[in-house]
């Protein structure tokens, strides 16, 4: 339909997208064969099936395990940006979560150099820009997180290829049984080095936990933030300070299952409350999505028209970590 086509073409930014979650099933199967990784099935429909966040994370880890050498990372990054550019994405700040790979002997320098190679080629081909945010995997604990951030800081000060493309740190994976404030030492290292700071909070956490993380970790953005409205104090603070929430509406329905239907999502209430709540993909290939379709789905679910969706796109630019002149170029 006409609005959906226009929203696909609308210039948009994606601030919450996991590179590993952009991998098409055919690529997973190819890399698995190349690298000798056993998959439970080669059937894409079966490969990408899950019914909870924990089951999803098992699939995500399987996808990650197919990324072994520098060329694999370059291919992943190149395919991610060329795919998003086809759906109107003009800038993205993508997560990658290398803790698992580092634990199995890969080097951060090689991962970052590979990603940078693929991203540079895709940027030249498409004009879409991509910066990276390294995520700490909470399944590996806060000490592994701190080591990851320190290694990144070292690579940046050594001028390692591609390291300057990693502009921030975050954390992802499970929230169950995790006190995310224990990641404070890692975030302190990031802050001291001038890195930007975000974190997944609020797929399976309370507003109180989100608030504690803002204070303890100095988060500048919150990824997901589903329960924020449960606290009037937290909501008022995030409105006043214009702390962005990178919302992933479809993901919250199909991955974490916070809501039964998109129509039940709190996004309209967040925006009505004045929160800087943006629309993003999370794991587009693993949830059969792209940002054009996500904008169309949100418009349809909440009865929003062109002007409201343009507002969301502009809020995405504000919420990005581009500098003011780069933001002005996108508006």
Residues engaged in binding ligand ADE (CB under 6 A): 18, 21, 60, 172-173, 200, 203, 251, 255-256, 282-283
Taking the least distance from each CB to ligand ADE, the nearer of 120 and 287 is 287
To the nearest whole angstrom, how small is the minimum distance from the Cβ of residue 21 to Zn ion?
7
d(CA 257, CA 301): 17
Taking the least distance from each CB to ligand ADE, the nearer of 288 and 318 is 288
173 binds, among Zn ion, ligand ADE, none (CB under 5 to 8 A by kind): ligand ADE
Taking the least distance from each CB to Zn ion, the nearer of 282 and 294 is 282
To the nearest whole angstrom, how small is the minimum distance from the Cβ of residue 130 to ligand ADE?
17
60 binds, among Zn ion, ligand ADE, none (CB under 5 to 8 A by kind): ligand ADE
Q: Tell me the C-alpha to C-alpha distance, in Å, between residue 134 and each of 119, 263, 300.
A: 15, 32, 33
To the nearest whole angstrom, how small is the minimum distance from the Cβ of residue 62 to ligand ADE?
12
Taking the least distance from each CB to ligand ADE, the nearer of 136 and 275 is 136
To the nearest whole angstrom, how small is the minimum distance from the Cβ of residue 199 to ligand ADE?
10
Q: Which pair of structure tokens corresponds to residue 70?
A: 């520098």
Instruction: Compute the half-sphere exposure of residue 1: CA atoms within 13 Å on the CB side of its CA.
Output: 10
Beta strands (DSSP E) in the chain are 12-18, 89-96, 129-137, 166-172, 196-197, 200-201, 222-224, 245-247, 277-279
To the nearest whole angstrom, how small is the minimum distance from the Cβ of residue 282 to ligand ADE?
5
Active-site residue, selected from the candidate residues 20, 79, 117, 203:
203
20 is catalytic: no
Residue 284's contacts (CB-CB under 8 Å, 6 or more residues apart) are 17, 21, 22, 83, 84, 290, 291
221 binds, among Zn ion, ligand ADE, none (CB under 5 to 8 A by kind): none
Taking the least distance from each CB to ligand ADE, the nearer of 256 and 270 is 256
99 binds, among ligand ADE, Zn ion, none (CB under 5 to 8 A by kind): none
Contacting residues toward Zn ion, per CB under 5 A: 282
DSSP secondary structure, 146-198, as one string? HHHHHHHHHHHHTT-TTGGGEEEEEEES--TT--GGGGHHHHHHHHHTT-EE-
Q: Which pair of structure tokens corresponds to residue 290?
A: 């792209």
CB-closest chain residue to ligand ADE? 172
Residue 231's contacts (CB-CB under 8 Å, 6 or more residues apart) are 207, 208, 210, 211
Q: Which residues are marked as active site?
A: 203
């Amino acid at each position: 339909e006409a609005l959906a086509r226009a929203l696909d073409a609308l210039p948009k930014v994606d601030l919450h997208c996991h590179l590993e979650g952009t991998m098409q099933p055919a690529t997973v199967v190819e890399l698995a064969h190349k690298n000798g990784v056993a998959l439970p099935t080669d059937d894409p429909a079966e490969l990408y099936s899950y019914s909870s966040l924990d089951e999803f994370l098992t699939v995500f880890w399987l996808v990650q395990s197919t990324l072994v050498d520098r060329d694999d990372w370059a291919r992943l990054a190149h395919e991610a940006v060329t795919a998003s550019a086809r759906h109107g994405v003009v800038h993205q700040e993508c997560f990658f979560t290398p803790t698992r790979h580092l634990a199995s002997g890969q080097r951060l320098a090689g991962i970052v150099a590979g990603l940078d190679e693929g991203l540079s080629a895709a940027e030249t081909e498409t004009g879409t820009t991509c910066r990276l945010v390294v995520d700490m995997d909470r399944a590996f604990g806060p000490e592994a997180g701190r080591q990851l951030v320190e290694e990144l800081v070292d690579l940046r000060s050594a001028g390692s290829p591609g390291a300057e493309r990693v502009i921030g740190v975050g954390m992802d994976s499970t929230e169950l049984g995790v006190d995310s404030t224990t990641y404070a030492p890692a975030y302190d290292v990031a802050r001291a080095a001038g890195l930007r700071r975000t974190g997944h909070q609020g797929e399976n956490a309370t507003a109180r936990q989100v608030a504690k993380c803002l204070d303890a970790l100095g988060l500048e953005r919150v990824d997901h933030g589903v329960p924020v409205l449960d606290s009037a104090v937290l909501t008022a603070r995030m409105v006043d300070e214009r702390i962005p929430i990178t919302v992933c509406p479809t993901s919250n329905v199909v991955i974490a299952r916070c809501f039964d239907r998109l129509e039940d999502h709190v996004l309209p209430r967040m925006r009505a409350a004045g929160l800087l709540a943006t629309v993003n993909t999370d794991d587009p290939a693993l949830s059969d999505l792209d940002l054009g379709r996500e904008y169309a789905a949100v418009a349809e679910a909440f009865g929003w028209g062109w002007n409201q969706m343009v507002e969301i796109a502009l809020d995405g630019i504000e919420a990005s970590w581009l500098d003011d002149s780069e933001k002005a170029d996108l508006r």
